[in-house]
A and B are shown apart, each in its own frame.
Chain A
Amino acid sequence: MGFDIENYLKDQTNSDVILFYKGNVDSDVINHVLDTVEDKLVEINEQSRLRKKVYNVLVESLQNLYHHVDKVPEGFEDQTSEKFGMLVVQKVNNGYKIITGNFVRADNVEKLEEKIRRINRSSHEEIKELYKFILNHQRISAKGGGGLGLVDIARKTGNKLEYTFKEYDDKYSFFYLDILVNEENQSATN
Chain B
Amino acid sequence: MEPIIIEGTPKTPTVKFDAAQGVFEIKGRSIPENSVEFYKPLVDWLDNYKESPLSKTVVNIRLEYFNTSSSKCILDVFKKLEAIHKAKNEVEVNWYYEEDDEDMLEAGEDYESIIRVPFKMIEIAE
Contacts and interface: CB of A to CB of B under 8 A. Distances in A.
Interface of A: 27, 30-31, 34-35, 48-49, 52-53, 55-56, 59-60, 63, 66-67, 128, 131-132, 135-136, 138-140, 144-146, 148-149, 151-152, 156, 190
A37 to B, nearest CB: 13
B65 A146 contact: no
B71 interface: yes
Contact of A53 (B34, B75, B103): B103
Nearest to A153: B68
B33 A146 contact: no
Using C-beta atoms within 8 Å of the partner chain, give the interface range for chain B. 20 to 34
Tell me if B's interface is mostly helix, strand, loop or mixed.
Answer: helix
Contacts of A27: 33
A126 to B, nearest CB: 14
B68 A49 contact: no
Contacts of B34: 144
Interface of A is mostly: helix
Contacts of B33: 27, 30, 63, 66-67, 144
Given A30-B33, A48-B126, A148 B71 contact: yes
Interface string B87-108: 0000000000010111100100
A132 B35 CA distance: 18
A146 B114 CA distance: 17
A55 B103 CA distance: 12
Contact of B114 (A34, A136, A139, A152): A136
Given A48-B126, A56-B103, A31 B110 contact: no
